[in-house]
A and B are shown apart, each in its own frame.
Chain A
Amino acid sequence: MREFWLGRLTSHSLPHDWVMVGGTATFIAMFLFAAVILTRTKRWKWLWNDWLTSVDPKKIGIMYFLVAGFMLIRGGIDVILMWLQQVLAVDGSQGILSADHYQQIFTAHGNIMVFFVAMGFIFGLINYIVPLQIGARDLASPLLNTLGFWLYVGGVVMINMFFVFGGEYAATGWLAVAPLSGIDFSPGVGVDYWIWSLQISGIGTTLGAINFIMTILKMRAPGMTLGKMPLFTWASLFSMLMAVAVFPLLTATLFLQFFDRYFGAHFFTALGGGDPMMYTNLIWMWGHPEVYILMLPAFGIFSEVVSTFSRKPIASYTANVLGMAGVSVLALSVWLHHFFTMGASSDVNAFFGLVTLVISIPTAVLFFTWIATMHKGLIRFDTPMLWFLGFVTIFTIGGVSGLVLAFPPADFQLHNSLFLVAHFHSNVIGGVLFGIFSGISYWFPKIAGFRLNERIGRNAFWCWIIGFCMSFIPMYILGIMGATRRLDHYESSTGYQPFFIIMLLGGIVIAVGLTLQIVQILASIIQRGHLRDNTGDPWNGRTLEWATASPPPFYNFTVIPHVMTRDAFLDMKRLGQFDQQYEDILIPKNTAVGIYIAILAFLVGFGFVWHINSLVVISLIGIIIIFAKRAFSEDSEYTLRAEEVEKLEAKRIAKVPAHEKEVKSLADEEDMSVWDFVRYVITFAMDIIRNKKWKTW
């Protein structure tokens, strides 16, 4: 009976070592804090109605940002723990972590950064920006979008679940290669948490990708042919097409591994006719394109930023689009370069080495189109552009080291070394993360209605650049010295230790940069009056997202624009063509179906992790019932009358003071500095303490 309801879950599963208990306490404290604030301010209903059940892609985008932001901090703490371990665990010393725990942390770090930080931010940006760029009012399937988001959250909760319900996380490396991840070598629940975290969020990604492909292909504003689509939208389209192509592969691979572990099948075992090498192939057939799924939207962001801040249309638009198309097609055919060292014949290795060389051609084309765009431009260097220049530097370092790795004999030496780790961090941090930072600082005024503090943004940028060099230049060197990745201890005679110390210091500088970015957002909120943009178009933008108010109304556009050229909004401004004919708008109703299905999907995964079959069956039945009920429901939309739109619009315009209707000069001298912020916070706190303000709370 006990097993029927609780499976293998016992009190022994609860966390008991100090790092885990600390993590658990932090998580519980955070939830309690949020709950208390929500109760005190009577915001539960607002949270549920306005946010959690919302199908508005803009709100879902913001929720993606918040979750991904938290996960960035979580994954960052993992880095500091890992590097501290590598500084301390020399010769006889065990450092602060056991080998097993250290391995769990680097596995979690990889999964969190790729799935829940990079994917989260990218999906957030696509959610917020793509519908605006194509002049759409919402997505092809608003329900699918909220479901996709909540499945992503389900994955996030699952990966952090061992903090609460205990057990362990996978100690296998981020792709959990077989047979290490098989039941023989990893008998604990760690790999099961891994499987279900990726499975649930991965299905969410597939659904989200289908939705965005439909949206981009079918819901563009009249006149916007494919050839007039903004480049970020193109990038998102390619990225989502790749996601649809490869995420089912991940789903299938995870299911096969699950069958091996749960039912004793032999797909990937060494004994019983299974083949671990098949797992390595399958996981990388998904894993390599996955990196480009993240990279392409970042390329798109940089194309938008370079064009806007050079005040020129993107040069060689067609070459840029073809370049992205080339990258996405070739990315599907290079997976074997992740295991040249598995012993394939030299013909096979040479083929995949060559394709890896070829993929750099379309990437180089993108660089050339950016240079040509800046040529004869009038370039401003606001933070989005700074991130672009940082990207150029660091991504190039990653690209150069990546091309060296494309040579199979060179890879024999560098594979699995810290050189390889430094290589892909150069690409993922310099490419994806800087792309995200550039995109967020570029579109922040659209999202918030005021721009970000430039001054602190610059400080943060320099911390990231300096911290990156301090961390990853020594890492490249360690790789050349023959240091493998994932060492939880080593001998001092290797001479690695000083380099690990510099890496840790660099990590701290990056952490300062990340803190400054949080400070930047807080300082911008404090100074929002000064930073406010009432025009909706602070950068003299070219594409349609700047044609509507900031933040946009929930129906995005009062009037759907007609698109004539690629720089649709720039031409509208030039020609003064603004339609004022209001019309009725169909608005999708909020729904909790996404949350309910995601909760049940999470419970299915949790049931499988702990072998609680009753929970699995009940949850699966629940999903089917909710799905069926929703499928037959006709009550999913309502009409917003044209008169109401007109009223809402009049109300918005009335709020804007007359003297602020012009584009403000973007002088940053008056932006708060970090010290101004610190002074402000101290004054604020002193004010509360001196005047006993808490009594009124």
Chain B
Amino acid sequence: MTAKHKISPSLAKLLVRMFAGLGAFSFLLWLLLRGQNIAILHSKGPIASQQRDLIIWSLIVILAIAVPTVLLLYFTAWRYRESHSSSTYHPEAKTGKIFNIIIWALPSLMMLVLAFTLVPSTHKLQPNKALAAQKPSINIQVVAMRWKWLFIYPEQGIATVNYVQLPKDTPVAFDLTADDAPMSSFWVPNLSGQLYAMTGHINRLNLIANVNGDYPGRSAEINGAGFAGMQFTARVSSTDDFESWVETTKQSSASLDKTAYQTLIKPSENNEVETYYPVDGTLYADAVMKYIGSHGNKAAHTMHDEGMN
């Protein structure tokens, strides 16, 4: 068995080619990424920033384990290759007890390190946890419909479709539910991770935005034909701008009563931005409660749990 693999290039050549290829490819990707909104990295609020930092930190720790292991594997494969020398060949070589302990202990130890971050970060970044800030928080009720997002501002008495405006540095509590729509997922990656909007449930998502600007938001969960067009803009502005936007909206909008709601809820795709004033205050509770009926009180439970947290 003295096969000579003439058809495969030498290792040095292979490595040069691989690194040249990867380098050129990375450069191309870097060029394409310049000036783009890399939403998860370009976080515009404390929640998204902490989530980003967690991603980067965990990535570094995991790579610190994975890269040496893989390099060791490559090195071993190269060191004991057939064409190298047969003098190092010891088919009877056995692994000892210590080796067996190490291969279990080492990854366990690393996972322990990760676990010590995982548990506290999960508690800290639980979406329904209220956020402390200087300014008082505002509440926005969100209804996922086929295939658009309805935002109701109960305190301001206005409502919008596929557009949401937030005051800067203010904690915002989104109460997510869905009406006559499959499970949808509410996601504004620049501001926070996503959470599901489901019929008969209220999922609360708290976030704060620190930087003015327009950020894309959308449903991240497949929910039917109009899924790709189910997107909205989240505009972050100063509190003053927010207040004046509320006033303008009040002056220039149609009312959202039960009849208008029944029209709105009909499936539509790539819906335009719409604004409403005044808004029937019972719409949101009705949208949630109609899925609960006599069969149970899931939403009530959800509300209760939030209170506990």
Contact = CB atoms under 8 A, between A and B. Distances in A.
Contacts of B305: 345
A392 B70 contact: yes
A179 B228 contact: no
B103 A369 contact: yes
A103 B224 CA distance: 8
B272 to A, nearest CB: 14
B196 A343 contact: yes
A360 B187 CA distance: 29
Contact of A399 (B66, B121, B123, B224): B66
B19 interface: no
Contacts of B296: 273
Interface string A252-296: 000000000000000000111100110010000000000000000
A354 B193 contact: no
Interface stretch (B112-120, B163-171, B241-249): B112-120
A380 B103 contact: no
A367 B111 CA distance: 16
Contact of B193 (A272, A369, A409, A540): A409
Nearest to A312: B91
Contacts of B36: 481, 494-495
B21 A466 contact: yes
B228 A99 contact: yes
Interface stretch (A121-129, A139-147, A413-421): A413-421
A100 interface: yes
Interface in A485-525: 485-490, 494-495, 498-499, 502
A406 interface: yes
Interface in B189-223: 189-190, 192-196, 198-201, 203, 216, 218-223
A185 interface: yes
B3 A380 contact: yes
Contacts, number: 313
A74 interface: no
B58 A404 contact: yes
Contacts of A410: 51, 54-55, 58
Interface residues of B, number: 113
Interface in A310-349: 310-313, 315-316, 318-319, 339, 341-343, 345-346, 349
A172 interface: yes
B192 to A, nearest CB: 7
Contact of A415 (B69, B192, B220): B220
B98 to A, nearest CB: 11
Contact of B121 (A365, A407, A474): A407
A361 B62 CA distance: 12
Interface string B50-61: 111011001100
B123 A346 contact: yes
A408 interface: yes
A93 B127 CA distance: 37
A480 interface: yes
Interface string A533-567: 00000001000000000000000000000000000
B188 to A, nearest CB: 9
B254 interface: no
Interface stretch (A19-27, A371-379, A581-589, A613-621): A371-379
Interface string B90-119: 110111000110111011100100110111
B7 A668 contact: yes
Given A416-B221, A480-B41, A481-B37, A667 B3 contact: yes
B8 A458 contact: yes
Contact of A358 (B28, B111, B223, B229): B111
Contacts of A409: 50-51, 54, 121-122, 124-125, 193
A280 B123 CA distance: 23
B73 A271 contact: no
25 contacts: A272-B295, A316-B95, A316-B100, A341-B194, A341-B195, A345-B305, A357-B111, A360-B107, A361-B107, A372-B103, A375-B76, A377-B89, A396-B70, A400-B59, A400-B62, A407-B55, A410-B54, A411-B193, A413-B194, A416-B220, A482-B40, A486-B222, A495-B37, A667-B4, A669-B7
Interface of B: 1-8, 21-22, 25, 28-29, 32-33, 35-41, 48, 50-52, 54-55, 58-59, 62-63, 65-66, 69-70, 72-74, 76-77, 80-82, 86, 88-91, 93-95, 99-100, 102-104, 106-108, 111, 114-115, 117-119, 121-129, 182-183, 185, 187, 189-190, 192-196, 198-201, 203, 216, 218-229, 269, 290-291, 293, 295-296, 302, 305, 309
